[in-house]
Amino acid sequence: MTEGIDITTSCGPIALRSPILAASGCFAYGQQFAAFTDLRALGGISTKGISPLPRHGNPLPRICETTGGMLNSIGLENVGVEAFLRDKLPFLRDLGVSVWVNFFGVDFETYVDCARSLGAGQGIDALEMNISCPNIKKGGIEFGTVPEVAHRLTRACVEVSRVPIIVKLSPNVSDIVAMADAVQKAGAAGVSLINTITGMAIDVRTRRPKIATRYGGLSGPAIKPIALRMVHQVARALPDLPICGMGGILSGEDALEFLMAGAHCVQVGTANFAEPGACVRITEELRGLLRALKIPSVRAAIGSLEAHAAEPEHLPQSPWSFG
């Protein structure tokens, strides 16, 4: 029995009845999973990435399994803002769970336009801004790799949105704390981390990459230690910044690790491909584990990691500053 365990939490201004959300890109628009799991038992759903106009995505093959995970290069295929607001959002709104709409653009202007349009939608609790996208007007540099660029983009999007913006950070950077600091000071309500890690797989028989675009995003259990490290680094350096952690979560114990590292909630992604009911199972496992460990609530678990005796007292300070 797990009665009496309080699993409510929040990510900044966003109240959550459970810390377990379905991750963007791994749960479509929610409707596709309705026949396989109880969507109302989730803490929330983060949608597929939405762009101002519809996108068809990358050519096939665009997904392959790897040891301990998978590579994908879907290409952010989606229905676009107008169709999402008209055809997809009403279903999500009626579920009674927290609705996070992941969004992106191809340049500064389309990011802002997308934030403005989605920010006017009824029933959206948060916009999750994916900044791991190349800026086609700036030679392909990712918005998520340069702190100053991320800061300007976040501020512009925050200014046009009536709902909180959570910035989804790329792990493909040299200083994750600098990126988190930049978007926090630009007005982000929190950060999601981590997004996928750039990787590759080769078919040795054909001597070709296993996905058509050559490189893709690695997700699944293989990236969990990296994700945990980055969540802990950001939580320790920026204790007032709400964090949604993700990366290889398969069990209630995995979720609790992220909470102890400093995440306020988590997203489950790749596990949904093999087990559509993974989020519900992980929620119940987390309840049971909290009870077994005599931790009365999710909030009590957040940031409860105890320092190892050999751990240094102070972390290096980021050279970036956004006053």
Q: Which residues contact 224 (CB under 8 A, 6 or more apart)?
A: 247, 248, 249, 254, 257
| Residue-by-residue DSSP string for 102-146 | EE--SSHHHHHHHHHHHHT-TT--EEEEE--SB-GGGTT-BTTS-
DSSP single-letter state for residue 2:
-
- Amino acid 80 reads G
Is residue 269 marked as binding? yes
Q: Tell me the pLDDT of the chain (323 aa) as tens digits.
A: 456 899 999 999 999 999 999 999 999 999 999 999 999 999 999 999 999 999 999 999 999 999 999 999 999 999 999 999 999 999 999 999 999 999 999 999 999 999 999 999 999 999 999 998 766 566 556 799 999 999 999 999 999 999 999 999 999 999 999 999 999 999 999 999 999 999 999 999 999 999 999 999 999 999 999 999 999 999 999 999 999 999 999 999 999 999 999 999 999 999 999 999 999 999 999 999 999 999 999 999 999 999 876 666 555 555 555 55
Q: Residue 225 in 3-state DSSP?
A: helix
Is residue 144 marked as binding? no
Is residue 196 marked as binding? yes
Residues 84/101, Cβ–Cβ less than 8 Å: yes
| Residue-by-residue DSSP string for 31-82 | GGGTTTS-GGGSSEEEPSPB-SS-B--PPSP-EEEETTEEEE-----B--HH
Is residue 220 marked as binding? yes
pLDDT at 1: 43
Output the pTM of the full model: 0.94
Nearest partner of 182 among 209, 206, 154, judged by Cα: 154
Distances (CA, A) of 311 to 17, 57, 119, 234, 304: 34, 45, 43, 16, 15
Is residue 303 marked as binding? no
Residues 279/37, Cβ–Cβ less than 8 Å: yes
pLDDT at 322: 56
Is residue 318 marked as binding? no
> Locate tokens 């500053």: which residue?
321
Is residue 121 marked as binding? no
Annotated active-site residue in 26, 133, 244, 279: 133
pLDDT at 307: 82
Q: Residue 200 in 3-state DSSP?
A: strand
Is residue 137 marked as binding? no
Element (H, E) at 151: helix 147-160
Planar angle of CA 103, 149, 24, nearest 5 degrees:
20
How many Cβ atoms are within 10 Å of 290's Cβ, its own excluded? 23
Is residue 283 marked as binding? no
Q: What angle do helix axes 252-261 and 224-237 make, rounded to 10 degrees?
A: 30
Known catalytic membership, residue 11: no
pLDDT at 101: 98
